[in-house]
Each structure stands twice: as structure tokens, then as C-alpha cells.
Amino acid sequence: MESIFRRLLNAGIGVASKTTKFAEGFINDLVEKGKLSEDDGRKFMEDFEREGEEQRQVFEKEMNAYIEKAMQKMDIPSREDFQRLEERISILERSQPGATQVNSIKP
């Protein structure tokens, strides 16, 4: 399930990248035609990229919260749950003489 959301996130990043390239080309055209100064064009692109980064961070945070909520609803253990269980098993194995030791459980 997480891979689906990861692909959606990557698709969104790809769209943002294409949008940035389009905006950069558009601004460069305006600068070349003299309709926008180089300083104004540079400032516009810096603001555009900063805003895009802020939006990406908000989107990623919301997506991560959604994934965690979905995993909780489906009762899927987290990586931390597995790590806690591995630690408990390790403690139990050390306390029981002759117990078979489990090296690692991969989630």
C-alpha cells in the first residue's frame, strides 16, 4: 500500500518539476522580449520554487499521516512494532537456556 502512495508522491513531484521547467521557460521568454527584468524574473522563479517546496512538504506530511491512519485502520503493524517484537523475542531467548535464536524478522 505504501508503494502506491510513494508512486503518487513521485508522480506529483514529476508534475511539479515539469511545471517549474515550463515556468522557467516562460519567464526566460519574457526576459528575452524585455517584458520582465532579469532581477524580477529571478525573484519570481525563486519565489515560485520556494512556494513549490513548501507545498511539497505540506503534501508529503499529509500523505504520511494518511498512510499511517490507513495502516492503523487495517491493523497493519508498523516497522516500530516489528522492532519492539524483535527486541522482546531477543530478551525471551536470552532468558531461556537452549532456546533457538531468531536472527532477524524482516517486515
Query: What is the value of pTM for the model shown?
Result: 0.53
Share of the chain above pLDDT 70, in %: 87
The span from the CA of 57 to the CA of 62, in Å, is 9
d(Cα 72, Cα 56) in Å, to the nearest integer?
Answer: 24
Rounded CA-CA distance 24/45 in Å is 7
**Domain annotation covers residue 66:** yes
Mean pLDDT (10-residue bins), the chain, 107 residues: 68 78 88 90 89 86 86 85 92 79 58
Domain total of the chain = 1
Q: How far apart are CA 72 and CA 54, in angstroms?
A: 27
Contact by Cβ (8 Å): 99, 92 = yes
Expressed as residue numbers, the domain containing 48 is 2-95
Question: Is residue 101 situated within a structural domain?
Answer: no
- CA 3 from chain centre, in angstroms, equals 11
Cell numbers linked to 80: 516500530
